[in-house]
Amino acid sequence: MILNYKTFTLGVEEEYMVLDPETYELKSHEQQIVQEGQKTIKDKVKAEMHQAVVEVGTDICQDIDEAYKDVAFLRKTISDIAGGLNLTLGASGTHPFSHWEKQLITDHQRYNDIIAELQEAARSNLIFGLHVHVGMESRELANHIANSTRYFYHTFLL
């Protein structure tokens, strides 16, 4: 099977920590960043379960250069909005010293359902991710690539 890089599309999602600019503790932004962001970048900004998290996501990008430009634009836009609200942003897998038990949960039916079902497991899942989605032109190609990567899977588990 011959692959052409034009076969793939990309989408990137990032979840940022919302921080107090003096203490660097996680801080609820009460969805202000999302509300302000939606005025300019529409549905590219979203609330998350914990109120000290904000998520952004690119459009479907045709190549890495397009994804890079969209991510850079989103980072600057959200950072500027946070700064205007006397907040700052951080990016890391998890916060080094803020405790999950002190974090407020966004009042949304989906999150309420998750908390009701998973309880402490959901509340303690205070992580900040970077997700890269790769679109493929067919299910057959996606299966071929997934099957090909199985040879390397064990190295991801180490």
Hey, where are the domains in the chain?
Answer: 8-157
pLDDT of residue 157: 80
pLDDT of residue 75: 98
pLDDT of residue 4: 62
Work out whether the CA dihedral 129, 73, 78, 110 comes out positive or negative.
Answer: negative
Summarised one tens digit per residue, pLDDT across range 84-103 is 999 999 999 999 999 999 99
pLDDT of residue 83: 98
pLDDT of residue 16: 98
pLDDT of residue 151: 87
CATH 3.30.590.20 fits 8-157, yes or no: yes
pLDDT of residue 142: 92
pLDDT of residue 1: 59
Closest CA to 38 of 21, 25, 57, 22: 57
Taking the whole predicted model, whether its pTM rises above 0.85 is answered as yes
Q: Which residues of the chain register pLDDT less than 70?
A: 1-6
64-84 vs 32-41: helix axis angle to the nearest 10? 130
DSSP assignments along the chain, one per residue: ----GGG-EEEEEEEEEEE-TTT--B---TTHHHHHHHHHHGGGEEE-SBTTEEEEE---BSSHHHHHHHHHHHHHHHHHHHHHTT-EEE-SSS-SS--GGGPPBP--HHHHHHHHHHTHHHHT-----EEEEEE-S-HHHHHHHHHHHGGGHHHHH-
